[in-house]
A and B are shown apart, each in its own frame.
Chain A
Amino acid sequence: GENVEQHPSTLSVQEGDSAVIKCTYSDSASNYFPWYKQELGKRPQLIIDIRSNVGEKKDQRIAVTLNKTAKHFSLHITETQPEDSAVYFCAALRTGAQKLVFGQGTRLTINP
């Protein structure tokens, strides 16, 4: 089955700097890769996703890149702000499957 590895588990950056979180997946048939953000005490919410026919997708300060050959995808946050502090989860969905497989999560802290 699919396995998703996420790194790092914790990340601390200065406000205004960029943050990058990386995930690798094992099943080459995976074709959908969402990212969720969970703020303290709140539910995880989808912030951006990418499908396997696209190499990069941007939404304001966040972007996701996908390398199908290497089977890894990354979340990039630019010009980080205090409200970016949260736990971020990557996930993958294999073609034909009906269940996302989540990474272990990254706790991102933005230092003022």
Chain B
Amino acid sequence: EAGVTQSPTHLIKTRGQQATLRCSPISGHTSVYWYQQALGLGLQFLLWYDEGEERNRGNFPPRFSGRQFPNYSSELNVNALELEDSALYLCASSRWAGEEFFGPGTRLTVL
């Protein structure tokens, strides 16, 4: 069974630009979760998509948005990038509530 995949691995942007991060869940998983991990410690919940709908979002400004496609893959968009957006962005998927399987992450650097 292939795991959760994310692209790109690394992304370098400058302040004010937009970033698009992509996630492919495990086959059969309908839920996708996005997390921000700064400073290598806490997992800050960003967004949760299930069956193509946004189900919940964390305490992040509206410039963090995303969507889920009919094949359950997902995209995270960050507009008007700020220096503090530099972080590891992790995607996770699940088939049902409970165990979340994480992808390898996208390292976003904002200069």
Contacts and interface: CB of A to CB of B under 8 A. Distances in A.
Interface of A: 9, 32, 34, 36, 40, 42-46, 49, 87, 89, 93, 97-100, 102, 104-105, 107
B97 A93 contact: yes
A89 B56 CA distance: 21
A89 B43 contact: yes
Contact of B90 (A43, A99, A100): A43
Interface string B72-97: 00000000000000000010000011
B33 A105 contact: no
Contacts of A46: 99, 101
A89 B37 CA distance: 12
Contact of B48 (A49, A93, A99): A99
A57 to B, nearest CB: 14
Contact of A34 (B55, B98, B103, B105): B98
Given A42-B104, A43-B103, A98-B31, A93 B98 contact: yes
Given A98-B31, A98-B50, A99-B33, A104 B98 contact: no
B100 interface: yes
B41 A99 contact: no
B102 to A, nearest CB: 4
A49 B97 CA distance: 14
B89 to A, nearest CB: 12
A107 B37 CA distance: 14
A44 B43 contact: yes
